[in-house]
A and B are shown apart, each in its own frame.
Chain A
Amino acid sequence: MRGLVIGIAGASSDGITAAGESLINAFAQEGYFATLSTNPGTQIRGGDVFCRVRVSTDPVLNSGGLLDLAVVLDWENFSQLSGELSVGPETVVVYDRRSGLTASALPLGGVRPAAAVAVPVAEIAIHAGAPTQARESVVLGLLSAWLRLPQKRVLEALVSRHKAGGDPSPKTYQKAFADAVAYAKEHPLGRAIALDPAAPPEGKRRVADGNEMCARAALFSGCKFFSGYPITPASEIMQYLQREIWKYGGSCLQAEDEIAAAAAVIGASYAGTKAMTATSGPGFSLQTEVLGLASAVELPMVCVNVQRGGPSTGMPTTQEQADLFAATFSSHGDTVRPVLAPTSVADSFDVTVEAFNIAEQYQTPVVVLTDRELAQCKAVLEPIEPSQFRVVDRLEPTKAELKRYARFQITDAGISPISHPGMRGGNYLAAGLEHDEKGAPTASGEIHAQMTRKRLNKLNPLKLRKDLFLFEGDLDAHIGLVSWGNVSGIAREAVRMARAKGVKVKLLVPRLLYPVAETIYEDFFATLRRCVVVEQSHQGQLHRLLRMWTQTPREFMSVSKSGANRITPEEIVRLIQAMEQPATDRFRSHYCDLLNVI
């Protein structure tokens, strides 16, 4: 699956994000799988200054570790991006000759790349009569020749983008591109950077990011109301729905703050409509009171939290998985709300559909914990077959039930039919105050205990949902990993790499994080002598959550890095190899320097 990892860094005027998009679209059309990570627009370091593309003939599980090919148009930005674009001894570095640097003097922090090649990028652009900003066209020309990509496809994407941008003369860009192709043919890369040919795709593949898939899933689930407040890296969900939801007969409200957004969502749900909000950490903090209300009045709602580095404003454009505690615990009172996490861009669709289903079926708020990497990373996705999904709607009272309606009726499953305004006979009071079966506020301790039991027990069937877990590896392995969210894609690749080297290991990836499915974990733990939870938060939040709820294996450790520090498949492979060693102390000390072991 390894494929190629390409990183491009430039100045903000270089159109680097657009170049990455041309590449991923061309790869998709050719039948490759790929991911594209960029930095999201406006907020930092002067805008779109880098992209990272990983391409392979197999589905890409993560955006990879060290670069195979680094294209550097701006050394200052490149150096600042060493977390995202790291160079190793196998990397080929291609850079604009205009920098005047010699190959031996490149600022690579002491790393000696496999090759360093100076190319007259700016000169080719200027010679073609294009502005220096057309360096993007030159890079695309070079790459399509070196990677043997169909030039027509790459060029088409380039030209249509310049047309859309209102550029009067795409000719100069085309010439820059063609000249770059010619240059690349005359100067083949010393070390082969080549791709295996891909099989032509079956069906129409889509290029999309996790935010888009989440928004599409909402529409697919029948969501007719969205409300949110802009925040990186979640805003694209609102932007997508603000454009699309009207076409489905729904509506969208850009609220005055996240509290109002969540409140409007619970209002829409009370009115009988499927509804969603999306935010990131700071906004999520504001919404927790409303989520508590939704638990109390048993109203379905979906809240997407696209995690970013925190606390507070933290690192808004970087990846972290540190809102798990907030998602599970930040409510007052004795309550549980389901928390789900997608494991890939594609899974953002599946998990969001599941979130709506769980919300509707169990009349509960559901939190979808995605993360900045999944949300804003584009990927080539297989076509989705709608009939694969079931869509659940809330249980409504029958005519007979409406005659003697009790909104919060105690039932065996804890789920009571739910009416909405407009339904004759279904009139009830939804009160955040504790209430009896009819909804009347009460101060009775007995009723409080009974209602608390109802609200908690109704969620128990979720803990048996094996389909909300992914499993990979050897059933009877003695060593195992648990990982979640975007990091699970890294763990999955690492497990495959380790098994290819003959190591017996297995991996469990929960998509349901809360309530904790004790028996599913304990079945997985049964063969394990040593288990490590791999995740991206300093505290290792899932590790701690599992210690709280499950009988863990004797050696149960956390290997985690705080946000913005890329975890690579190679690191996890080394971790797995170390896990095979007998001595715990050595295992620990080995990993203390590499990762943050608690």
Chain B
Amino acid sequence: MISADSGNRVGPKSCRCSAKDFGNELKPKWCPGCGDFGVMNALYRALASVGRPPHEIAFVSGIGCSSRIPEYTTAYGFNSLHGRALPIAQGIKMAHPELLVLVAGGDADAFSIGGGHFPHAVRRNPDLTYLVMDNQVMGQSDGQVSPTSAKGAKSRGSTQGSLEAPINPVLYALAYGAHFVAQGIPADLDGLSKLIEEAIRFPGFAFINIQSPCITFGDPDMQVLVQKTRMKKLKTEGHDPADRAAAMELAQASGDVLYTGVFYKNPNPPPSYGSLIASRQRTPALEPSDALA
């Protein structure tokens, strides 16, 4: 039996699953060349090495192109409402702590309509893994600007260009106090799948900002082939992921330098929300009829 707060931090493999076991026969409705394909493949690989069987995984998303990802896995999926994936996932995790709970969605889902939920998920620190597929546009709704679009960025839905400064998701997560913050790109499939695995194994809220390019509306400079030449691995740069201040310093370069890898991983993570909850719950529990006592 896995203890209550370790749903995502699995020890030995509990199934002999290969990456194939997490994919289904559905053909993704993404445009050919969309970065989300790579994210999906990296996720399959990560889940295979983590080794929880698909029925023990709950995969929640919001609405958007990226949010269709649970549909293409064999896990339990919940393709829910625009912006509400995080609170739904927290409800699942609180009700059923043994599950491995994954959350995914786009940049608008995470930082526009769902922006109010992000800091609260961070400060509660539930054992969830949150994959934001940041393409700097609202893909599904026809390419309007999103909260991560650069100032001046033009798009089909915003032909005059954005007047607003972008959000910096990595800095934002660090500032709120997240204990695991990373950035990945589908161009580096191997690196991304390892990051996802590490995030899943982290005991607490783990956030990965994935620069997942939109080929239809996105910035040409962010496409997969260009990303490959632009990326700078934090590890190679000599960054110590236990150093939060250094992580915040590096995160400032977002938009100019494309760092990948772990920005920050708390070496002494505090107890997760799930373990705090478990310690409040009474065992043996009262019977429902005791409510009439």
Chain A residues proximal to chain B, CB less than 8 Å: 216-217, 219-222, 224-225, 227, 244, 246-251, 253, 255-257, 259-261, 263-273, 275, 289-290, 293, 297, 384, 386, 391, 420-433, 440-441
Contact = CB atoms under 8 A, between A and B. Distances in A.
Contact of B79 (A222, A259, A271, A432): A432
A287 to B, nearest CB: 11
A432 B60 CA distance: 12
A384 B89 CA distance: 36
Given A216-B291, A270-B88, A421 B282 contact: no
Given A216-B291, A225-B94, A267 B71 contact: no
List of 5 A-B pairs having minimum Cβ-Cβ separation, nearest first: A267-B91, A249-B285, A264-B91, A219-B291, A268-B95
Contact of B99 (A247, A422, A433, A441): A422
Interface in B238-293: 277, 280-283, 285-286, 288-292
Interface stretch (B50-58, B144-152, B157-165, B210-218): B50-58
Tell me what chain A mostly uses at the interface: helix, strand, loop, or mixed: mixed
B227 interface: no
Contacts of B84: 259-260, 263, 290
23 contacts: A219-B288, A219-B290, A221-B288, A222-B288, A227-B91, A248-B288, A253-B94, A260-B84, A260-B120, A264-B94, A266-B80, A267-B88, A267-B90, A268-B96, A271-B91, A271-B92, A421-B58, A422-B96, A429-B76, A430-B78, A430-B79, A431-B77, A441-B79
B55 A424 contact: yes
Given A216-B292, A384-B292, A386-B289, A267 B92 contact: yes
B156 to A, nearest CB: 22
Given A273-B96, A431-B71, A251 B281 contact: yes
A429 B26 CA distance: 12
Interface string B56-100: 111010010000001100111111110010111111111110110
Contact of A225 (B89, B91, B290): B91
A162 B137 CA distance: 62
Contacts of B116: 256-257, 260
A255 to B, nearest CB: 6
Contacts of B194: none
A354 to B, nearest CB: 15
Contact of B289 (A220, A261, A421, A427): A220
A422 B94 contact: no
Contacts of A246: 280-282
Contacts of A247: 282, 285-286, 290
Contacts of A249: 281-283, 285-286
Contact of A429 (B78, B281, B288, B290): B78
A427 B87 contact: no
Contacts of A428: 76-77
A220 B291 contact: yes
A267 B95 contact: yes
Contact of B81 (A250, A255, A293): A293
Contacts of A221: 288
B117 interface: yes
A441 B71 contact: yes
Contacts of A425: 55
Query: Which of B81, B88, B283, B291 has its CB near the most chain A CB atoms (within 10 A)?
Result: B291
Contacts of B290: 219, 247-248
Interface of B: 26, 53-58, 60, 63, 70-71, 74-81, 84, 86-96, 98-99, 116-117, 120, 277, 280-283, 285-286, 288-292
A253 B292 contact: no
Contacts of A267: 60, 78, 87-93, 95
Given A247-B285, A263-B84, A271 B95 contact: yes
Nearest to A431: B79
A244 B26 CA distance: 45
Given A263-B88, A431-B79, A386 B292 contact: yes
Contacts of A433: 79
A425 B56 CA distance: 10
A261 B280 CA distance: 20
Contacts of B288: 219-222, 248, 391
Query: Which of B26, B93, B116, B292 has its CB near the most chain A CB atoms (within 10 A)?
Result: B292
B76 A263 contact: no
A272 B78 CA distance: 13
B94 to A, nearest CB: 5
A224 B277 CA distance: 13
Contacts of B281: 246, 249-251
Contacts of B63: 432
Query: Which of B76, B98, B290 has its CB near the most chain A CB atoms (within 10 A)?
Result: B76
Nearest to A439: B77
Contacts of B93: 267
A131 B143 CA distance: 70
Contacts of A216: 291-292
Contacts of B70: 429
Contact of A421 (B55, B79, B81): B55
Query: Which of B80, B116, B280 has its CB near the most chain A CB atoms (within 10 A)?
Result: B80
A254 B48 CA distance: 35
A293 to B, nearest CB: 6
A425 B55 CA distance: 7
Contacts of A441: 71, 79
A3 to B, nearest CB: 27
A421 B92 contact: yes
Contacts of B277: 251
Given A256-B117, A422-B98, A248 B285 contact: yes
A256 B120 contact: yes
Contact of B77 (A251, A386, A429): A429
Contacts of B95: 224-225, 251, 267-269, 271-273, 275
Contacts of A219: 288, 290-291
Given A219-B291, A429-B78, 13 more contacts: A219-B288, A220-B292, A222-B288, A246-B282, A259-B84, A263-B88, A270-B58, A289-B81, A422-B56, A422-B96, A427-B55, A429-B77, A430-B79
B96 A248 contact: no
Contacts of A244: 291
Contact of B87 (A224, A264, A297, A391): A264
A424 B87 CA distance: 25
A266 B91 contact: yes
Contacts of A227: 91
A563 to B, nearest CB: 30
A421 B87 contact: no
Contacts of A429: 70-71, 76-79
Query: Which of B91, B92, B120, B288 has its CB near the most chain A CB atoms (within 10 A)?
Result: B91
Contacts of A427: 54-55, 74-76
B277 to A, nearest CB: 5
A268 B94 contact: yes
Nearest to B83: A259
Query: Which of A227, A386, A429 has its CB near the most chain B CB atoms (within 10 A)?
Result: A429
Contacts of B58: 270-271, 421
B99 A421 contact: yes
Contacts of A275: 91, 95
B176 to A, nearest CB: 13
A433 B63 CA distance: 10
Contacts of B94: 225, 251, 253, 264, 268
Given A220-B289, A421-B96, A255 B87 contact: yes
A540 to B, nearest CB: 34
B93 to A, nearest CB: 8
B79 to A, nearest CB: 4
A137 B120 CA distance: 46
B47 to A, nearest CB: 13
Contacts of A440: 26, 71
Contacts of A220: 288-289, 291-292
Contacts of B91: 225, 227, 253, 263-271, 275
